[in-house]
């Protein structure tokens, strides 16, 4: 009896011990099974955006596309009350066009463009050290409709309410273009 009690206690301890592997939550779409750092430094589980239409954008402060922040903010304000969010991911992968610290990026975005959509800590979006979220977004295995490496700053991924990647837009595609607005409105209507 004592042996059974010890074995049972061992099983209970094993079940209660934390794992070092990330656990997928099958109720959450795979693209939202990531935890990212906010510009303020806190952990943000992307699962908090479940059920929303999401535009994920890799951004930079010293790029020819940087003025897109203004358009992104206008689109965010126009559709936010309908369940639309924008998630900005600063990246320094293209000609070092995002050299700032998180605090500097935050100050730049708020003072220069009045950004109120959610911004995250700087990530790597291509090549060595690519963050897992961008590996997921660009892989042919997980995104067979829109695979391929990020080509430049301000590449945009539209995620539908169902958590599937609904569209991908090239960096030069303006946030307020008919192509982007049409896709956002289509996803919001689902």
Residue 109: active-site member: no
Angstrom distance (rounded) from CA 73 to CA 61: 15
pLDDT grade for 21, boundaries at 50, 70 and 90 = very low
Set 13, 63, 109, 131: catalytic member: 63
pLDDT score for 140 = 95
pTM of the model: 0.86
Domain ranges of the chain: 28-189
- Decide if 85 contacts 52 (C-beta within 8 A): yes
Torsion of CA 61, 67, 70, 73, to 10 degrees: -50
Fold of the CATH domain 28-189: Glutaredoxin (3.40.30)
Angstrom distance (rounded) from CA 49 to CA 45: 8
């Amino acid at each position: 009896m004592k042996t059974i009690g010890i074995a049972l206690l061992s099983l209970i301890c094993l079940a209660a011990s934390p794992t070092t592997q990330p656990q997928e939550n099958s109720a959450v779409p795979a693209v939202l099974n990531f935890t990212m750092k906010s510009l303020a430094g806190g952990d943000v589980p992307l699962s908090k955006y479940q059920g929303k239409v999401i535009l994920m954008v890799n951004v930079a402060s010293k790029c020819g596309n940087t003025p897109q922040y203004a358009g992104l903010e206008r689109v965010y304000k126009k559709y936010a009350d309908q369940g639309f969010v924008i998630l900005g991911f600063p990246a320094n992968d293209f000609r070092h066009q995002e050299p700032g610290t998180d605090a500097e990026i935050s100050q730049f975005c708020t003072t220069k463009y009045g950004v109120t959509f959610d911004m995250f800590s700087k990530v790597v979006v291509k090549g060595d050290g690519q963050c897992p979220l961008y590996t997921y977004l660009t892989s042919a295995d997980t995104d067979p409709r829109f695979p391929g490496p990020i080509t430049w700053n301000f590449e945009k991924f539209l995620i539908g309410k169902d958590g599937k990647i609904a569209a991908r837009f090239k960096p030069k595609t303006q946030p307020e273009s008919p192509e982007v607005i049409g896709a956002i409105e289509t996803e919001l209507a689902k």
